[in-house]
Structure 1
Amino acid sequence: MTTVDELLAAARARLDRVDPHRAAELIAEGAVLVDTRPAWQRAEEGEFAHALVIERNHLEWRLDPASDARVPAAVDHDVVWIVACSEGYSSSLAAASLQDLGLHRATDLVGGFRAWQAAGLPLRRSEQPGPAAASPTELDR
């Protein structure tokens, strides 16, 4: 039997995890940032300015190039997918699952959305500001 902590450690051991600034560089080079947080969490915390939103329960079907339900960006197994969640835990497990599908360049964002926001990287204006929503000037960074 395995604990969730052991599962997480094993997933992270095979990922080349990226911090927010490295993720931003990779995105500028063509990587795709995928926000897997549910709608309620995006509304509460805020949103990445330039992320493909695919909630966790749909991820593998949307990113597998062989799937009939794939997104247009899922063209082959060489796409660089950077999976993000709120704090960087479930995204590690999700990225490892993508690697199991042969998406060998999949990784995740260390610290998730919260680290991205703390780094002052671009956010999207939200129509439904939550209690942790940033001010309009912060959203334009």
Structure 2
Amino acid sequence: MTAPDTVRSIEDILAGARARLDRLHPYEVVDELRSGAVLVDIRPAAQRAAEGEVPGALIVERNVLEWRFDPASTARLPVASYGLRVIVLCSEGYTSSLAAASLHDLGVTRATDVIGGFRAWAAAGLPASGPLAIARI
């Protein structure tokens, strides 16, 4: 059976999401954080335990991200606002692109993500704790 004409592949969806974002290399995130951006780690607990964490990152797992950052949601975080610079972090920078684009759909249009995710962050020698951070030493 062939896919309907309206179906897009995940590669197409990812490319569309990324076309809407001003994605950041890990080293660019540091300046953004100094300017008031919020780094949001969306990885599940098991993945953070296996890979490590970024000190100071806000932990909001992927399954609740939109509810926590939609300024109109009753389940929003106090920091949530339409003008907030949200930088989403996942393991390798795929899920984070889709998540940041979803925040754009909610009107949080300054949202973006980290190219290469936590793995690139740790490889760049940026502050991190856990197995991947230790492996780079």
Same-fold call, TM cutoff 0.5: yes
Q: 2:99 aligns with which of 94, 105, 108?
A: 94
The CA RMSD measured in Å over matched residues stands at 1.6
Aligned partner of 1:51 in structure 2 is 57
Question: Which ranges in structure 2 are unaligned for 5 or more consecutive residues?
Answer: 1-6
**In 1, Cα distance between the equivalents of 2:114 and 2:21?**
10
Correspondent of 1:37 among 37, 40, 43 = 43
Partner residue in 2 for 1:116: 121
**Residue pairs, 1:1-141, within 5 angstroms:** 1-74=7-80, 76-124=81-129, 132-135=131-134
Task: Tell me how many residue pairs correspond in the alignment.
Answer: 131
Structure 2 distance, partners of 1:134, 1:98, is 29
The whole-number CA distance in structure 2 between the counterparts of 1:83 and 1:51 is 10
Deviation at 1:89, TM superposition (A): 0.1
CA distance in 1, matches of 2:73, 2:102: 15
Letter in 1 for 2:114: L
Please state how far the C-alpha of 1:133 moved relative to its aligned partner: 4.7
Q: Do 2:125 and 2:133's aligned partners in 1 also have CA atoms closer than 8 Å?
A: no
Q: Percent identity?
A: 59
Structure 1 Cα separation of the partners of residues 55 and 127 of structure 2: 5
Q: The residue matched to 2:39 in structure 1 has which SS? A: strand
Question: Using a 3 Å threshold, how does the CA distance of structure 1 residues 133 and 119 change in structure 2: closer, same or farther?
Answer: closer
Structure 1 letter corresponding to 2:45: A
> Match of 1:129?
none
State the TM-score, normalized to the length of structure 2: 0.90
